[in-house]
Structure 1
Amino acid sequence: MIQGFKEFIMKGNVVDLAVAVVLGAAFAPVITTLVDSVIMPLISGLIGFPSFDQFLAFQVGDGDNWVRFGAWLTVVVNFLIIAAALYFVVVMPMNKVIEARNRRLGIDPDEEEVEPDVALLTEIRDLLATGAAPREGSAADKDPNV
């Protein structure tokens, strides 16, 4: 039982997930500060107020029972702003870097990588269909198990 748990914890995807969670937690203040200190003041300057909290607010019954649709709208707008900030500040530049690296290395992302055994079997099938002899430099030459 302990061995199974150890194997589970040491799997690459679990470690990758843990690293992603920690990096996400560390990156959250960066995006929050970008939204709170840069983007929201710009929006506030354009429309005159920093949030929609009092938009469509009304009192229900006696006392301090308020329905605030604007508070929900503020959270939705903040989410969209954060998503846009992440996309334009992190995702787009990272995609450009990956694309440039792939171009530099000559990697075609649309090209499927074929397993050697599948390539060998495909070549054998094609040779059997045509009745031809194997050609030099074929998958059969590259695989020492053939």
Structure 2
Amino acid sequence: MTFKEINIGQMIEKAVTESGIEMSRICNFFKCKEKEVTEMYQAKSLDTEILLKWSKLLEYDFFRIYTQHLILYAPPVKQEENENNKKSSLPQFRKNIYTKEIIDFILEQISNGKMTKNEVIERYRIPKTTLYKWISKYSEIK
């Protein structure tokens, strides 16, 4: 799976198919008609409240897909820019969350020769020691 182009409707439809949840249950849960559910499947993006309901119904964190996109493709904020801004009342996160999917994606880029280790370190701002720990840990498994 690529995190660059996200079509959340297709992902939800796939998750529904895999889970085997009946359309009648989905319609009852959302208090809507089958046509509206089908429209959600065709939507490239959905309102966060609707996405939260899908996450609960299917017991899958669809927001994590967007988080992975941010980790891989959002430009990093320079530390000096961050210090000049006022403190935000929004929650501040201390570090990136590297899921197994992200680690696999990055290691695949290196093993396929699409990126060098240095390119990965620069592009995704992953500490060198972290990358080398992943390489040694996950190469033992394979």
Regarding TM over 0.5, the answer is no
Higher strand share: 1
Specify which structure has the bigger relative contact order, considering alpha-carbon pairs within 8 angstroms and separated by 6 or more residues: 2
